[in-house]
Amino acid sequence: MSLKQNKSEPIKTPEEPPQNAENAAENAEENGEEKKKEQEELPPFEVVEGSRIPASSFMFQFKNVEYSSGRNKTLLCYTVERGEGQIFRGYLEDEHVSAHAEDAFFTNVLPQYVSSNPVAVTCYVSSSPCINCAACIARCLRRYKTLKLQLVVARLFQWEESEIRGALRGITSAGCKLRMMKTADYLHVWQQFVEPDIILDDEGIAEQPSEQGAFIPWEDLDENAKYYEERLAEIIR
């Protein structure tokens, strides 16, 4: 699943006779206005729900390393529990080309689940939010008084920058419970949101795995989680 920027393809039209400079300028202006209007009407991203994360993507993007070189996506897994006893799950993914996963979830996905009854939301995210996404989360918490939010993150994004640190304090003061992922959280996400990678046989035909493989923690998972816990405690104390 991914958030993809919508693109409109040019429409081919039959060739027209040559125009004079004045008419050409008028047509160009009209076409420009039409294209601008069309772009404004198109949504900035597409949200697709229902699929699980490929195991290899989860293991790479959610790895709680200190330096996240090459990890240029944000993956967000969410669980929404409504007062009526209903539970909804899904995940979003972005490539940092349009909307971020957090912005998409809190702006477009969550509002459809909010009601006058209590709503408990837990988001497992591959990294903590940027400044803009943190502001979006804080606005959402102020707007929806029945919302209880827990944000569980694998890594801290640019945590040494003062603006980021202030943004994280902002969402916690707005009511968000923010903490780092531990081994138990990785096991939970693996069971609820991850699917085995597709394996091809010698003839290029996909083999259907009989069961999902077990989650195997990397060697320094607990050590890295403790490191990030200490950094987060310093930020939000």
Residue ranges in 73-203 assigned as alpha helix (H):
101-104, 131-143, 162-173, 183-193
Q: Which two tokens stand for residue 30?
A: 């009209």
Tell me which residues are annotated as active site: 102
Contacts 24+ apart (CB under 8 A), 182-188: 182/222, 182/225, 183/217, 183/221, 183/222, 183/225, 185/124, 185/152, 186/62, 186/215, 186/217, 186/221, 187/215, 188/124
Q: What residues contact 192, with CB distance under 8 A and at least 6 apart?
A: 77, 79, 89
Which of the 8 DSSP states describes residue 122?
Answer: E
Distance CA 170, CA 28 (A): 47
